[in-house]
A and B are shown apart, each in its own frame.
Chain A
Amino acid sequence: RKEVEQDPGPFNVPEGATVAFNCTYSNSASQSFFWYRQDCRKEPKLLMSVYSSGNEDGRFTAQLNRASQYISLLIRDSKLSDSATYLCVVNMRTGGFKTIFGAGTRLFVKA
């Protein structure tokens, strides 16, 4: 089992749609969680951290479920510019250092 697993994708949605990505992690000692966005042929960029109580940034909402060991990202009112790959990232600090990146989920938003 991979340490961080994401929806396989790709997701193809029309503009204005709501789309949700899920990510599961295997290590219960995981301590911090993030979503990154990566455009084609560019570096990953931090989209948002994921807090235990859930957090929102404009059209983006991130949630964490520690009991079930998954995090989610919800994008409302999708824009063409949201087309990208979304990476789930999990940090573990117990017994040493480890940051694990998911393989990413590709999103295509179409007019």
Chain B
Amino acid sequence: SQTIHQWPATLVQPVGSPLSLECTVEGTSNPNLYWYRQAAGRGLQLLFYSVGIGQISSEVPQNLSASRPQDRQFILSSKKLLLSDSGFYLCAWEFRDTQYFGPGTRLTVL
């Protein structure tokens, strides 16, 4: 069966520090992968999606970037975090038009 992992589960970072969040999927190959952010009490905001290795589409302009160095690995990065980057970051993979989410990373920027 397929599983999706995210780490770390929680993270507290100072403003201006770098960020790297990792997402990996098991049990499938060449999945469509997604990064979402959910601010406290808000809906999901699509940040990036990828249909294959090295293929990244950005949905919103921001100080975040994404990379897909391997088929089942999706990384979200930032060179300098802002206070507004705080939120719940969710990775998802897609199977037959249905998205399945990882457990998420809760990021607090201080």
Task: Tell me if A46 counts as interface (CB < 8 A to partner B).
Answer: yes
Q: How many residues of B contact A (CB 8 A)?
A: 16
24 pairs from A and B in contact (CB 8 Å cutoff) = A31-B97, A32-B97, A32-B98, A42-B103, A42-B104, A43-B90, A43-B101, A43-B102, A43-B103, A43-B104, A44-B90, A45-B101, A46-B98, A46-B100, A87-B44, A89-B99, A91-B97, A93-B97, A97-B49, A99-B99, A101-B43, A101-B44, A103-B43, A104-B43
Instruction: Please give the residue numbers on chain B whose beta carbons come within 8 Å of chain A beta carbons, in ascending order.
Output: 42-44, 46, 49, 88, 90, 97-104, 106
Q: In whole angstroms, how far apart are the Cα atoms of A81 and B46 in the complex? A: 28
Contact with B along A81-111 (1 / 0, CB 8 A): 0000001010101000101011110000000
Residues on the B chain within 8 Å of A42, using CB = 103-104
A-B contacts counted at CB < 8 A amount to 35
Residues on the B chain within 8 Å of A103, using CB = 42-43
Residues on the A chain within 8 Å of B104, using CB = 42-43
Residues on the A chain within 8 Å of B49, using CB = 97
